[in-house]
Chain A
Amino acid sequence: MAQGSETGGAGTSARVDLTFVDRLVAELGRTPDQAIPILQAIQREYRYLPEEALAHVCRISAITPADLYGVATFYSQFRLRPAGRHTICVCHGTACHVKGAGLIQEALERHLGLPPGEDTDADGRFTVQKVACLGCCTLAPVVQIDGITYGHLAPDGVPKVIDDFLRLERQGYASPPSHSPQTRGGLTEPAVLPEVRVGVGSCCIAGGSQEVRRSLEQAVRELDAPVVVKPVGCVGMCHQTPLVEVVQGGKQTALYARVAPHDADAIVRRHFRPRGLLRTARSAILGALDRLLTDEASTPVTRYAIDVRDAPVCAFLGRQTRIATEYCGSLSPVDLEEYLAHQGFVALRQALRQASPEELIATVTRAGLRGRGGAGFPTGKKWAVVRAAAGETKYVVLNGDEGDPGAFMDRMILESYPYRVLEGMALAAYAVGAREGILYIRAEYPLAVERMREAIRRCEEAGFLGDQILGSDFSLRLRVMEGAGAFVCGEETALLESIEGRRGSPRLRPPYPAEKGLWGQPTCINNVETYAMVPWLVRHGAEQFARLGTATSKGTKVFALTGKVARGGLIEVPMGITIREIVEEIGGGIAGGRTFKAVQIGGPAGGCLPAALADTPVDYEALASAGAIMGSGGLVVMDDRDCMVEIARYFLEFTQGQSCGKCTFCRLGTRRMLEILERLCAGQGKPGDLEKLEQLAGQVKQGSLCGLGHTAPNPVLTTLRYFRAEYEAHLEGHCPAGRCKALIRYHVDEQCTGCTKCAQACPVDAIPLTPYQRHVIDAEKCTRCDVCRGICPAEAISVISK
């Protein structure tokens, strides 16, 4: 019957080894909840899901064809037709979007000659995929080819990126380096040794920190200096990656930003002397390790040292308060010893020895901790409900399905502070009476998944997890489940469906998961950051936590600060700080001297607040009354060149694509809203469109089962509320920000020297080659790809409103 296009052509391959499927099912299990892990393993093997393999799974397991096929077509990770040999992921996260991801996507499709509607080139070499967010927002716009990240791209750099990748492939570069967590060479090194710390969060790795680390290690080996090269979690200064910090007892700490591998030797030599004075220093000649560089046309990566006392760095770090990200930049992520040395598991030990579960819940309640996932439900209250709920078996679940484009707080916390998250979960489990738990982490975060798995293994070995933890009668088993690419699974009931092996369609609440959750049992689901807050809160006491923040919003909040801000990154700030303080003091204001226009807070469920409301404090209620939400912590700053109608369209395109498709209002209503926004951006708005959009937005908000549909209209409603004039301009065919392609054209002014660079670079021959004459752009042919403007040495090309 329905031959969906995504299912066409699949399953004809005769090369499917069914014994592989047999082994897989035997290993993972035959129960329905194993559907997603089984599909993930099959896809890892074949790069898609061959139909014979699926049919065989149904034959040998308890999973029905209806369930398996329903799941296989629900999650975007799964493909039902063969993929090219290499996968190019084009990030369409908010930061990438505002920095031109669409143009990069088009340039790629053009360069690879993809037929319309196809994602794979004719030779089967490359498959181009849109991805929601790679979480390297500070390198935007970003593409990833088989795990190699290319950042700060421009459309004209696309051919070079492909060439560079093919060159690496010829040189034997097969697959991305293993993300396997590595620890420094032995825990026996005395802690007093000087350290060269290198960031290994995803942003830093994407910025090239693995190479830098190897170079540093080599430099240290060659110098034979008494120094430890130590991988540390995210420092949060993602705009400066890769970051290297040199810490020596009694000396000023030196911080180096944007370090390249060839800088390693110099850094090491500047601070350290060889162990044996006779040892000859060899100059380290480093090979072609620049594979993580931005494309060659862009600014080369330069190294410069920044002193922590420098004003910008002080401003960036100084306004921050660390709870979830405590010991930021100094902890080696999976080093348990080090976590222990930094008060790790003190809170758990304390609670197990001195506090009853009820007392622990009372502490969390008194502290005023509220859920950091977005809605802000009081954590203590939730725990109390789970504790009081009838049921032999109870669960703790970690919601690590952070999916907001432009947000990467949870990824950073999981990658950098895995033990803190586990300790928080253990405290929650103790409080609610759970003995079992699941960490549901989105598949797009492989490093977080690996580190959490490793951290669980080590905790079990060391007795922080498992049976009779720390000699008490409290036991807890935790395991990681990888998501499969569905934003809606961040909704807690959809997440539970997914863990149980089904399509991620939300369930109606009540009953809430706290009463009837996983497998029908009382379940405590909290967000990553919420759990990460708990150890500090228990150690320092409720009162100290509650001292931070506002009347109703206590403690701190982690934000991913991205967009048009001078210094983007991962920040943790006390509640109550204003948006202006974040943007101007921490973020250093707007980059490139443009004007601060708005801030998008809370991602697709949140809203766009205008610069005029920048004094709104970070507070659940204050943000809600302004039309936004606290959300999970995405904070995208926009300047005067960002179009608010287009931003609303972007977010709605995202949410409507992520709707599970169950409820009428969400499935169809968001689509019809998107069509109106698309019309407006194309200059084809009709009278009455704004009213219709507003009315439909209100009804979708009212008539949706889950949070996704309920909040999807928010970006539209807030932009309509604060930027209505911009909508009206679009109705009349103008885009004041000069962003909507159909409403702008490119213009060459008298600065033009007739150098023909633009004419040569134009991919659609819209500029005749007229040497020494002012060039002219054929508006009919022009696709507004922005290549000419980027390449013009005289800055003679500008965008003008039609």
Chain B
Amino acid sequence: MPQLTIDGQLVEVPEGTSVLEAARHAGITIPTLCHRPGKPPLTSCFVCVVRVNGGARLLPSCATPVAEGMVVESETPEVHAARRTALELLLGDHLGDCVGPCQSTCPAHMDIPRMIRQIAAGQVREALITVKERIALPAVLGRICPELCEKACRRGQADAPVSICLLKRHVADLDLASGDPYRPECAPPSGKRVAIVGAGPAGLAAAYYLAQAGHACTLFDEHPLPGGMLQYGVPEALLPRDLLQAEIHLILRLGVEFQGGVRLGESLSLEELRARHDAVLIATGPTAPEAVRALGLEPGRQGIQVDRHTLATTLPGVYAAGAAVLPSRHAVRAVGDGRTAARAIHHYLSGSPEPARDRPFTVQMGRLQADELAPFLANASPEPRVSPTAEAAPPAPQEWGEPDPVAPPASGGLGGLSPDQAVRESRRCLHCDCHKQETCALRLHAIAYGARPNEYRGERRDYRVEQTHPETVYEPGKCIACGVCVQIATEAREELGLTFIGRGLNVRVAVPLNEALRQGLRRVALACADACPTAALRRKDDGPTPAPGEDTSRREG
């Protein structure tokens, strides 16, 4: 049996084994998009490249047989860079949206399509959890959010966007009124203490997520009550204070302390805070450069200078978020920022490496042409956008089963959606997000290798979708021409099968003789869909959880 070295590890595998397989034996997973174990290698994706014996070329490990004394480099910066470029090249020619445009646009990156599917499926509590994964104050934001997501909603191109903000408010209001509002699990206490200066939306959000991670948080604020601008800036008519109180309470009850009447730089110095806490988050709202310097921090262009991804300031353990970094009137951005800072602080405190970016990885196909939009519309409810009415108020709030109940918001129900309206509205969603976003190998490898989706973006293809096959859906724009489905169809001796047509950049997988997909794939369509490394070919019932199952309009006739 040949012996070889992979990244310095000695491996012994039988003659004829590929380097890819041999690496697996050594516990090294080499990524691949076009290779199926035990099948002849297709050598198309070039994501599995390795360097062999210091050669000038990088070889596809799936097709390189091991040899005695071979020296393979797999996990080196140079090999990784090549894999990343291969992924970036594929992403640049991959037409789709991993996550919906609504989610990409939302400053807090809330998984809106999932929330909507959950509402459509009647899973209100699950929908609330989806919202609260990203938005700590959903009932509040359901009233004052600038609805950036709705501006990006593709449904808006056809008639009017899905009423996302009201849907979110709907689940949040129902939760508050339920008498048993959602209380996230908190990790066991970490023993770490975090000071959060400023109890506005950014600080509150950070406290919410840090508390869940088991860190002891104290919110300091110059005002007597928490809420910042929400409490002292937003008109009462827009945001009833009892509702704000209620939602803040849900954060404080996770063990977050609040100290009012404390002003940073006056009654409280940053030095003291740093001495008494393991980390400090500054979420004080707009801060003038002199004030920034007075704190011993570097001023940035508009506020405190921070690392774009981690929000870390120039002082170790000190972070900044919200308007303290970049003045903004959008509470939703502050809430998103608070979560980002919380993640970074958690990683800092637990000594783990830098967290992956908070923003979900996605390719984006941008605005659709009218004919491109049509297949999306065909699968959604044709009803117009529902308008909220006074009668649509949620059911009367109930007693909370909490030790320290706060009066449920009495004034918060007006202008919301009724449960029936919410379900109807949720069916208007076009579900632009990718049905295989959780399983797509291209996306998973891209995330793992830090591939940038727009690094090598090419000319946009036209979006097309073939839905006439009874079991599968084909989106050629997502095809990376790996050849797996062609190979499966050929192995199965499909009568027409699939073939590559064209050459070079225009190479596409198609059924020969311009026949429809249902003619080409009569036997192995599902096998092809399951093997497809992207969502180019997918099962009709593939989809992010929950499947838009209640949505019968999406079932093909």
Q: CB within 8 Å of A: which of B58-108?
A: 58, 60, 63-64, 81-82, 85-86, 89-90, 92-93
- Whether the Cβ atoms of A699 and B82 lie closer than 8 Å is yes
By the criterion CB–CB under 8 Å, are A659 and B57 in contact? no
Report which residue of B85, B92, B481, B486 has the largest number of chain A beta carbons within 10 angstroms of its beta carbon.
B85
Contact call B82/A4, Cβ cutoff below 8 A: no
| Chain A 499-518 interface residues, beta-carbon cutoff 8 Å to B | 503, 508
Distance of A55 Cα from B519 Cα, bound (Å): 14
Cross-chain contact A667 with B516 (CB below 8 angstroms): no
Given contacts A503-B500, A703-B58, contact A66 B490 (CB under 8 A): yes
Are B58 and A659 interface neighbours, CB within 8 A?
Answer: no
Tell me whether B520 and A1 are in contact (CB under 8 A): yes
Q: Hey, which chain B residues are within 8 Å of A661, CB to CB?
A: 481, 500, 502-507
**Contact flag A664-B506 (CB < 8 Å), given A65-B513, A66-B496:** no
Q: Which residues of B contact A672 (CB under 8 A)?
A: 89, 92, 456, 458
- Interface presence of A43 (CB below 8 A): no
Residues of chain A lying within 8 A (CB to CB) of residue B508: 2, 4
**Is A394 located at the chain interface by the 8 A CB criterion?**
no
- A661-B481, A664-B90, A672-B458 known; A3 vs B514 contact (CB < 8 Å): yes
The chain A residue with its CB closest to the CB of B510 is A2
- From known contacts A664-B90, A668-B93, infer whether A68 and B512 are also in contact, taking CB-CB under 8 Å: yes
Question: Do A55 and B513 have beta carbons less than 8 Å apart?
Answer: yes
Tell me which residues across on chain A come within 8 A of B56, comparing CB atoms. Answer: 702
Q: How many of chain B's residues have a CB under 8 angstroms from any CB in A?
A: 57
Proximity string of chain B (472-504) to chain A, C-beta cutoff 8 Å, 1 when within and 0 when not: 001010001101001001100001111111111
Partner among B89, B476, B515 whose Cβ is within 8 Å of the Cβ of A664: B89
How far does the Cβ of A285 sit from chain B's closest Cβ, in whole Å? 51
Residue A755 at the chain B interface, CB threshold 8 Å: no
Residues 309 to 333 of chain A near chain B (Cβ within 8 Å): none
Indicate whether A307 reaches chain B with its CB closer than 8 angstroms. Answer: no
Q: Is A426 an interface residue (CB 8 A)?
A: no
State the Cβ distance, A77 to closest chain B Cβ, in Å. 12
How many A residues touch the partner, as a band? 35 or more
Q: Which B residue sits closest to A67, measured CB to CB?
A: B499
Do B504 and A656 touch across chains, with their CB atoms under 8 A apart? yes
Segment among B41-49, B132-140, B253-261 that sits at the interface with chain A: B41-49
Please judge, given known A-B contacts A51-B514, A65-B496, whether A671 and B45 are in contact too, CB under 8 Å: no
B511 interface residue per 8 A CB criterion: yes
C-alpha spacing A70/B512, complex, angstroms = 8
Which of B64, B481, B489, B520 has a CB less than 8 Å from the CB of A667?
A: B481
Interface status of A392 (Cβ within 8 A of chain B) = no
Indicate whether A126 reaches chain B with its CB closer than 8 angstroms: no
Contacts of A696 in B (CB 8 A): 85, 456
Do the beta carbons of A1 and B466 come within 8 Å of each other? Answer: yes
Once the chains bind, are B93 and A508 in contact (CB under 8 Å)? no
A248 partner residues in chain B, CB cutoff 8 A: none
Q: Chain A, 64-106, contact with B by CB distance < 8 Å: what is the 0/1 string?
A: 1111111001101000000000000000000000000000000
Task: Name B519's closest neighbour in chain A (CB-CB).
Answer: A1
**B505 & A664 in contact (Cβ 8 Å cutoff):** no
Assess whether B501 is in contact with A69, with CB atoms less than 8 Å apart. Answer: yes
CB-based contact A659/B501 at 8 Å = no
- Interface: B517 (CB within 8 A): yes
Question: Is B509 in contact with chain A by the CB < 8 A criterion?
Answer: yes
User: Are A70 and B499 touching (Cβ within 8 A)?
Assistant: yes
- Secondary structure dominating the interface of A: helix
Which of A69, A659, A675 lies in contact with B512, CB distance below 8 A? A69
Taken together as a complex, chains A and B put the C-alpha atoms of A486 and B499 apart, in Å, by 18
Chain A nearest CB from B516 CB (Å) reads: 7
Is A660 a contact of B89 with CB atoms below 8 Å?
no
Contacts of B47 in A (CB 8 A): 664
Give the residues from 353 to 381 in chain A that come closer than 8 angstroms, CB to CB, to chain B.
none
A contact residues around B481 at 8 Å (CB): 661-662, 667
A621: min CB distance to chain B, Å:
15
Q: Do A668 and B456 contact each other (CB < 8 Å), given the known contacts A55-B513, A65-B512, A661-B481?
A: yes
Q: How near does chain B come to A629, taking the closest CB pair, in angstroms? A: 14
A residues near B486, Cβ cutoff 8 Å: 66
Judged by a CB distance under 8 angstroms, whether A771 is at the interface is: no
A704 to chain B, nearest CB (A): 8
CB-based contact A668/B89 at 8 Å: yes
Q: How many A-B residue pairs have CB under 8 A?
A: 157
Decide if the interface of chain B is mainly helix, strand, loop or mixed: mixed
Q: A1: which B residues are within 8 A, CB to CB? A: 466, 474, 476, 510-511, 514-517, 520
Contacts A664-B86, A667-B505, A703-B49 given; indicate if A66 touches B497 (C-beta within 8 A): yes
A669 at the binding interface (Cβ < 8 Å): yes
> What separation, in Å, do the CA atoms of A589 and B515 have in the docked complex?
58
A663 touches B456 (CB 8 A): no
Q: In the complex, what residues of A have CB within 8 A of residue B466's CB? A: 1
Q: Which of A6, A669, A699 has the most CB of B within 10 A?
A: A699
Contact B506 A4 (CB under 8 A): yes
User: A66: which B residues are within 8 A, CB to CB?
Assistant: 486, 489-490, 496-499, 512
Q: Is A262 an interface residue (CB 8 A)?
A: no
Which of A66, A74, A669, A710 has the most chain B CB atoms inside 10 A of its CB? A66
Tell me, in angstroms, the Cα distance from A675 to B481 when the chains sit together: 21
Interface residue ranges of A730-786 to B (CB < 8 Å): none
Whether a CB of chain B sits under 8 angstroms from the CB of A658 is yes
Q: How far is the CB of B204 from chain A (nearest CB, A)?
A: 41
Nearest CB to that of B481 among chain A residues? A661
- Across-interface contacts of B474 in A (CB, < 8 A): 1
A667 and B500 alpha carbons, distance in the complex (Å): 14
By a CB distance below 8 angstroms, the chain B residues around A710 are 57
A508 in contact with B63 (CB, 8 Å): yes
Contact B82 A69 (CB under 8 A): no
Contacts of A6 in B (CB 8 A): 502
CB neighbours (8 Å) of A668 from chain B are 89-90, 92-93, 456, 458, 505
The residue in chain B whose Cβ has the minimal distance to the Cβ of A486 is: B503
A366 to chain B, nearest CB (A): 30
Kindly state whether residue A383 has any CB partner on chain B within 8 Å: no
- Residues from chain B with a CB closer than 8 A to the CB of A64 are 497, 512
- Are B86 and A508 within 8 A (Cβ)? no
Could you tell me the distance in whole angstroms from the C-beta of B103 to the nearest C-beta in chain A?
A: 27
Please give, as numbers and ranges, the residues of chain B lying within 8 Å of A486 by CB-CB distance. Answer: 503
**Within 8 Å CB of A662, what residues of B?**
43-44, 481, 483, 507
Chain B, Cβ-Cβ closest to A507: B43
Q: Give Cα A6 to B502, complex, Å.
A: 9
Are B504 and A660 closer than 8 Å at their CB atoms? yes
Please state if A699 and B85 are interface contacts (CB–CB under 8 Å): yes
Q: Is A620 an interface residue (CB 8 A)?
A: no
**Nearest opposing residue in chain B for A710, CB measure:** B57
Closest-CB distance, A601 to chain B (whole angstroms): 21
In the bound assembly, the distance between CA atoms of A660 and B505 in angstroms comes to 8
Residues of B with C-beta under 8 A to A675: 458
* Cα separation A64 to B90 with both chains bound (whole Å): 30
Q: Least Cβ distance of B79 to chain A in Å?
A: 10
User: 19 pairs across A/B with beta carbons < 8 Å?
Assistant: A1-B510, A2-B464, A2-B510, A54-B513, A65-B495, A65-B512, A65-B513, A66-B512, A74-B502, A657-B504, A660-B503, A661-B504, A661-B505, A661-B507, A664-B45, A668-B458, A671-B504, A696-B456, A702-B49
- Residues of B bordering A, CB below 8 Å: 41, 43-47, 49, 56-58, 60, 63-64, 81-82, 85-86, 89-90, 92-93, 456, 458, 464, 466, 474, 476, 480-481, 483, 486, 489-490, 495-517, 520
| Interface positions of A (Cβ within 8 A of B) | 1-4, 6-7, 51, 54-55, 58, 64-70, 73-74, 76, 486, 503, 508, 656-665, 667-669, 671-672, 675, 696, 699, 701-705, 710
Closest 9 CB pairs of A and B: A661-B507, A69-B512, A2-B510, A66-B499, A65-B512, A668-B89, A70-B499, A73-B501, A659-B504
Contacts beyond the supplied A65-B499, A696-B85, A705-B46: 18 A-B pairs with Cβ under 8 Å: A1-B520, A2-B508, A4-B501, A69-B510, A70-B499, A70-B512, A73-B501, A74-B502, A661-B500, A661-B507, A664-B45, A668-B89, A672-B92, A672-B458, A699-B85, A702-B56, A702-B57, A703-B86
